[in-house]
Structure 1
Amino acid sequence: MRKYDAVIAGYICVDLIPTFKSNIQVSEVSDLLRPGKLVEIAGMESTLGGVVANTGMAMKKFSKQVYLNGLIGSDFIGVIARAALDKYELSEGIRTVNGVGTAFGLVIAPPGVDRMFLEAPGCSELFDVEHINYEAVADSRLFHFGYPPLLHKFYRQKGKQLIALFKKINDLGVVTSLDFSLPDADSESGRVNWLEILKKTLPYTDIFAPSLEEALKMIFPYEYTIIEAEDGDFVDKVPLDLIKELGETLVAYGANIVLIKAAHRGVFLWTGDVASVNKKNTLHLSPAEWNNRQLWCNAYPVAEEKVKSTSGAGDTAVAAFLTAILNGESPGAAMKYAAVAGRNNLYCNDVYREMADWAAMTKELKRVANDVRNVTDLIISAASNSNC
């Protein structure tokens, strides 16, 4: 028995979310952000954000013992963060540093349009391998790390620290898990060769859980640029055969389990041989169920009138997926938990207080049917429909 089910390390911030009045009708965020324009809002929400808080709080809500590992500043935003962490009894592994502000994000999400982020990495730029609590990691079943594009020390020098970190955790016999954020094309991280970094990191990565947009930008940057330039929703424009090639490529690079989050298109799963994961003796995945799978799970329907926030939905989906894996669930069940948790996140401003717990999600999964299909069958079906 280990003390923690999971250590979640990396990027933590405070999200500041303007609450827009319901009568605001826009088709693009740019309709609001025009010089000289004044927009009256209903208020401002402040919540913990970043992979450490989002995934950590959700996993605790799902009854897992978690240890959060990150940095906050001693500024006013840091005081907000510390108070929230103390409230949820999650501040044990969060260190306060002086002289640099806490990371924060301004989340602009008016009704009916995709959200926009203004992100200040703050003291997370200082976070490096020396801030990882390896004693806590060694006493955990799983190590989940997130948002390298916002953590300068982990992408500089060709990702030297990221690669070294995952090799060290892998050697400790702890299951490794990696999540990402979208690199800003105009920032230092946007000029990094992420493909080469991932090629050297994924051999030590048991679970890789990027979004579709993130994965495409890093692995197939040329295709990403073409798709991004086209009109319409990015996720809708990515062809299924390209998603399939993406998943297969990530497994070929060394990841044992690849979960790609595709928003309203659901989640996609690719796996290799999970024997190396089971050798660590912290998970017990059935080889017959988990080996060499390619699956798609449809998104759960969203009641638009219940949506409160779109921030953190991907992190919550990953939290549910990891919890299901820790519980020994099948691939299909783990994907369903991820899909329903990501949907439920939309109905919450405070994930820990408002989120449905594991028992409630399990009950819903038994009540509401949802597709889990082979990716190849899905591609054949899509091709058949297009020929009609």
Structure 2
Amino acid sequence: MFGNKEQTERRRGDISLQADVVVAGHIAVDLIPALSDRAGGLTSLRPGQLVEAGGAAFSSGGCVANTGLALDRIGVPVRLIGCIGDDEFGELTLRAVRSANPDLVSGLQVVQGEISSYTIVLESPGIDRIFIHCPGVNHRFRSQHVSPEALRGARLFHFGYPPLMRSLFSDQGEEMALIMGEARRAGAMTSLDMAMPGSDEARRVDWPRWLQRVLPEVDLFLPSLDELRVMLPGLSGLPMEVAVREAAELLLDWGCAIVAIKLGDCGIYCRTAGGDRLQQVPHAFLSTAANWRLRELWAPCYQVDVIGTTGAGDCTIAGFIRGIVADLTLEETLQSATAVGACSVEAKDALGGLHSWEEIRGRIEEGWKRSDKGPEGEGWSWNSAIQIWQGRLDQANKKEVDE
């Protein structure tokens, strides 16, 4: 780990004693059939075509299950809030969560007469994933599903996938802003993850307007670059290095304190606000606030043999949240995020590759190598001591602090 080992151990102890994270929003059950590249796999699909599959992985899915259960597995106390229907898929969802930790099912609310959400994930070697998704009762999620009792004592409130939840994308962001605002007033830092708009209705949303309404209530915003390219048309066609910088500047201007953009196998880009915006974040940065101010970092992935990428972004977020509730520096937090995300892709489903934090930390301390994928072009400096890329803003800020 970075920094003083004794301090890090003390912070990690603080997680188990004090930290409390609530993860709310979209929950589903995932079915992931094993597809080979024989006979072309998915590329050979035609009407009337039969594609042979192997065994199927079955797991809970969506932000609530993926991020929430990942946090639980790496030692961060968590509560889950989500809605399921009173049907077979709802029973399967409950069974999957219960098998991970029976204490976590209490926050899942069964809505009578509604269907549960499910996703069929099609992965084949050499092509991107295909999702067949039914949002189900997630379309009905509203602020009343997040009770004041559920928020009591929470240090961080994380919400995921509003683009797959009609009640939260169809009103220009009013309901989403209400949920996040209530969490902040309850004393929790707020964190928001997105998803690719999956329906024609969701794709027609004025996402810039939606984000401008919601982001003032969001402290930590964690979209993927692919999602931002859909929601912010001005990013279309821009090189990755240019797109992340333009997006981050815009999103910070719209009100959030921290932007962390997921870049798939290219890692994660993070930019933070200046001024007093970080001081407005509840329950965060107890001793590391100065380290987080006005930063620009790009953390590459760790090298792994990729088995499946379902839920990798959600697990990366779990690692990021772990860093925050442990009061780690931004460098340490990005290390935690990329390490947890890397473990996730070592299994077919989101959680099968995850281990305890002690095991993950052991891999890091043994010299776990980073990927060589990173930013191209001018304005980036590789810091070999912390294995991270520093952007122009970060270099200028460090020079100002040193002086």
Match of 2:229 in 1: 216
1:203 to 2:239 alignment: no
Match of 2:330 in 1: 331
Measured in 2, the distance between the counterparts of 1:32 and 1:166 equals: 44
Of 186, 189, 193, the match for 1:179: 193
Match of 1:64 in 2: 76
Runs of 4+ in 1 over 3 A off after TM superposition: 1-4, 21-26, 273-279, 349-354, 376-379
Aligned ranges 1:1-388 → 2 under 5 Å: 5-21=20-36, 23=38, 25=40, 29=42, 31-87=43-99, 88-89=101-102, 90-184=104-198, 186-219=199-232, 221-224=233-236, 227=237, 238-273=239-274, 276-277=277-278, 280-284=282-286, 286-304=288-306, 307=307, 309-349=308-348, 351-352=350-351, 354-366=353-365, 367-370=367-370, 371-376=387-392
Contact 2:266-2:301 at 8 Å conserved across structures: yes
Matched residue SS, 1:302? coil
- The answer to which of 129-138 and 281-290 deviates more is 281-290
Measured in 1, the distance between the counterparts of 2:393 and 2:368 equals: 22
Shift of 1:4: 5.8
The root-mean-square deviation of aligned C-alpha atoms, in Å, is 2.3
Shift of 1:240: 0.9
Shift of 1:356: 2.0
Share of identical aligned residues, percent? 31
Matched residue SS, 2:60? strand
Match of 1:234 in 2: none
Measured in 2, the distance between the counterparts of 1:250 and 1:54 equals: 25
- The answer to which of 123-132 and 80-89 deviates more is 80-89
Q: Per-residue displacement from partner, 1:341-373 (whole Å, max 9, x unpaired)? A: 112111124555541221122122222254311
Contact 1:72-1:124 at 8 Å conserved across structures: yes
Counterpart AA for 2:343: N
**1:274/1:283 Cα in 2 relative to 1: closer, same or farther (>3 Å)?**
farther
Measured in 1, the distance between the counterparts of 2:45 and 2:214 equals: 39
**1:275/1:362 Cα in 2 relative to 1: closer, same or farther (>3 Å)?**
farther
Counterpart AA for 1:298: P
Contact 1:25-1:111 at 8 Å conserved across structures: no
Unaligned runs of 5+ in 1: 228-236, 380-388
Shift of 1:238: 3.3
Contact 2:117-2:138 at 8 Å conserved across structures: yes
Measured in 1, the distance between the counterparts of 2:336 and 2:197 equals: 27
Counterpart AA for 2:129: R
Shift of 1:112: 2.4
Shift of 1:278: 5.1
Counterpart AA for 1:153: S
Contact 1:6-1:140 at 8 Å conserved across structures: yes
Shift of 1:110: 1.0
Contact 2:85-2:111 at 8 Å conserved across structures: yes
Matched residue SS, 1:91? helix
**1:286/1:17 Cα in 2 relative to 1: closer, same or farther (>3 Å)?**
same
Shift of 1:340: 1.9
Contact 1:74-1:99 at 8 Å conserved across structures: yes
Shift of 1:327: 0.8
Measured in 2, the distance between the counterparts of 1:222 and 1:174 equals: 33
Match of 1:233 in 2: none
**1:32/1:377 Cα in 2 relative to 1: closer, same or farther (>3 Å)?**
farther
Matched residue SS, 1:251? helix
Tell me the number of residue pairs that the alignment of Structure 1 and Structure 2 aligns: 360
Shift of 1:216: 2.4
Unaligned runs of 5+ in 2: 1-13, 371-386, 396-403
